[in-house]
Amino acid sequence: MGLKNSQYHAIMRKYEQKQLHSHDIQVARYEEVYKKLPEFKALDDSIASLSIQYGKKLLDGDTSAVDALKKDLAELRNRKIHLLKSAGFPEDYLEPVYDCPDCKDTGYIGNQKCHCFKQKEIDLLYMQSNVREVLKEENFSKFSFQYYSKNIINPATQLSALDTAKKVVAECKEFLLSFDKKHGNLFFYGDTGVGKTFLSHCIAKWLIDRSHSVIYFSAFQLFDLFAQYTFSRAEDAMEFYPYVFDCDLLIIDDLGTELTNTFVSSQLFLCINERLIRKKSTIISTNLPMDRFSDTYSERVFSRITSNYTMCKLIGDDIRIQKKLSGRKA
């Protein structure tokens, strides 16, 4: 399948539009600052004039000109920052505004595709429009603790469903804040309807909004892809298979609902292990209790997960049923 030339150029045009938009914002901000602070423009003019003067000195063989220029420019820049802040502008107000600061909205870091470009590829090659729609409703701004009871207690931790949910959400936010440094992994488990998938969507939305590449699979979809890649060598599966291991975050939802056999178990281990080696984050959710999970999949799968994932158990009543009941009352 791959990106067609027209698709590639369409993505690159979007990057060009972003760059033009960023430039327009920067120009407008300079005009705003110059109008409010005429002395700021005078400083910019002084910097340009100094650069020309010292450039001539360098051409004339004055080797001390570089150090002198650096000193004078530093002083002028400090005066500019002071002016901006005194007028109520942020210190970085005149810096370029990028959607993705890593590639500066070019799509590439050196000769390599940026993670934001990879997400655009993923969106084209593996149509996740349905997931995109879900993320509009299932994100941290829509998450509510009201469905978690204070009266339901986990006997193992002595924490209520509410306190447990608060603890898990805090772990999710820590996972996100350290995402680029720690390359962590999360394992959500608990009964049906306690918010595992919702939290996965919250995390996906947060990362996608920050230009990270995210792929969401139900367990059935993932193992179907692996089967197509392994047995039928289907073109679509051949093209998309590498993204499973290379995306910034892979979400495997409802693990345990698929038909489990030795192929599934071996492919799950391959997927988990390869992503650990590449330092790529993974989120897995399951309704299976831990004893059944270890029986369902191989010991080495269970060992990899428990030793490399933050284990997040959620408890409580089915939130979907609670919402339906409250809807009926309304």
Q: pLDDT of 137-162, one tens digit each?
A: 899 999 999 999 999 999 999 999 99
Give mean pLDDT, residues 277-290. Answer: 95
On whether both 132 and 81 belong to a single domain, the answer is: no
Domain contains 105: no
Domain contains 93: no
pLDDT at 9: 86
On whether both 145 and 254 belong to a single domain, the answer is: yes
On whether both 67 and 135 belong to a single domain, the answer is: no
Q: How far apart are CA 298 and CA 276, in angstroms?
A: 17
Instruction: Assess contact for 32 and 90: CB atoms under 8 A.
Output: no
- Quote the domain boundaries for residue 323: 128-329
294 or 174: which carries more pLDDT confidence? Answer: 174
319 or 131: which carries more pLDDT confidence? Answer: 319
On whether both 58 and 142 belong to a single domain, the answer is: no
CATH classification of the domain holding 293: 3.40.50.300
On whether both 77 and 141 belong to a single domain, the answer is: no
Instruction: Assess contact for 275 and 242: CB atoms under 8 A.
Output: no
On whether both 221 and 288 belong to a single domain, the answer is: yes
Instruction: Assess contact for 250 and 215: CB atoms under 8 A.
Output: yes
Q: How far apart are CA 81 and CA 153, in angstroms?
A: 55
Domain contains 113: no
Chain centre to alpha carbon of residue 267: 25
Domain limit, last residue, from 86, 116, 137: 86
Whether 317 shows a pLDDT value over 70: the answer reads yes
Residue 32 main-chain phi, psi, to 5 deg: -60, -45
Instruction: Assess contact for 265 and 297: CB atoms under 8 A.
Output: yes
On whether both 137 and 221 belong to a single domain, the answer is: yes
pLDDT at 3: 65
Specify the number of domains making up the chain: 2
On whether both 161 and 262 belong to a single domain, the answer is: yes
- Percentages (nearest 5) of helix, strand, coil residues in the chain: 60, 10, 25
* Mean of pLDDT over the chain: 89
On whether both 155 and 213 belong to a single domain, the answer is: yes
Structure tokens at 155: 């006997």
Per-residue pLDDT of 217-237, as tens digits, reads 999 999 999 999 999 888 778
37 or 64: which carries more pLDDT confidence? Answer: 37
Q: How far apart are CA 219 and CA 272, in angstroms?
A: 13
Whether 310 shows a pLDDT value over 70: the answer reads yes
Which range has the worst mean pLDDT, 14-18, 54-58, 104-108, 280-284? 54-58
On whether both 175 and 273 belong to a single domain, the answer is: yes
pLDDT at 71: 83
pLDDT at 329: 41
Domain contains 184: yes
Report yes or no on whether pTM surpasses 0.75.
no
Please spell the DSSP secondary structure of 54-114, one letter per residue.
HHHHHHTT-TTHHHHHHHHHHHHHHHHHHHHHHTT--TTTTS---S-TTTTTSSEETTEEP
Domain limit, last residue, from 67, 86, 105: 86
Structure tokens at 43: 């400083």
On whether both 181 and 321 belong to a single domain, the answer is: yes
Domain contains 119: no
pLDDT at 1: 43
CA nearest neighbour of 37 among 75, 110, 87: 87
Please spell the DSSP secondary structure of 7-53, one letter per residue.
HHHHHHHHHHHHHHHHHHHHHHHHHHHHHH-HHHHHHHHHHHHHHHH
On whether both 271 and 177 belong to a single domain, the answer is: yes
